[in-house]
Structure 1
């Protein structure tokens, strides 16, 4: 569980640090993605079971895919969200 907590903290740090240097579009994409991550973490915590980084990533990916399929993002925003998500998946735990 410590690895998962470290990963969640690393993502939060990334979002916090990017505020100063991001464009408005990047901030929107980061905030949108952070909402999906927070939702996934909350949902997994409600299950009251330890969860892994892989489980969290799968939950976020599924949530994003549903949102994209529902047309929640235009192409430019979708590209930004996917780019940030790909970067976050590579963060060390």
Structure 2
């Protein structure tokens, strides 16, 4: 799977849950969209397309969220992290 395909898959998973999402899930999904796109852009800039690319992208998403921890309340941060972990397992 390419980086672009994986980005599209994650964004589609978020979009698919919009109709049944709680307010917290909508917030986390919206917040996470930017981090997904940022991680995809970072991976594409490295011009490395391999089996490991998706794993690298997952790590970048988690890393970028952790770097942005100060942007969120502790409760929101925990919710975003849990939402992310669930999303990345799909």
Alignment TM-score, normalising by the size of structure 1: 0.80
Higher relative contact order (CA 8 A, sep 6+): 1
- Report if the CA contact (8 A) 2:35-2:64 is conserved: yes
The total of aligned residue pairs comes to 88
Q: Provide the secondary structure at the position in 2 that maps to 1:20.
A: helix
For residues 61-80 of structure 1, give each alpha carbon's deviation from its aligned partner in whole angstroms, at most 9, with x where no partner exists: 11111111xx1111221122
The answer on 1:88 being equivalent to 2:87 is yes
- Structure 1 stretches lacking a partner, 5+ long: none
Runs of 4+ in 1 over 4 A off after TM superposition: 3-6
TM-score, structure 2 normalization: 0.82
Give the Cα–Cα distance (whole angstroms) in 2 for the partners of residues 55 and 90 of structure 1. Answer: 14
1:26 counterpart = 2:25: yes
Name the Cα RMSD after superposition. Answer: 1.8
How far does residue 3 in structure 1 lie from its aligned partner after superposition? Answer: 5.8
SS of residue matched to 1:49 = coil
Residue 36 of structure 1 corresponds to 35
Structure 2 stretches lacking a partner, 5+ long = none
Query: Aligned to 2:49, what secondary structure does the other structure show?
Result: coil
- Give the distance between the partners of 1:47 and 1:6, measured in 2 at CA: 16
- CA offset digits 1:42-88 (Å, max 9, x no partner): 111122221511100111111111111xx111122112211111112
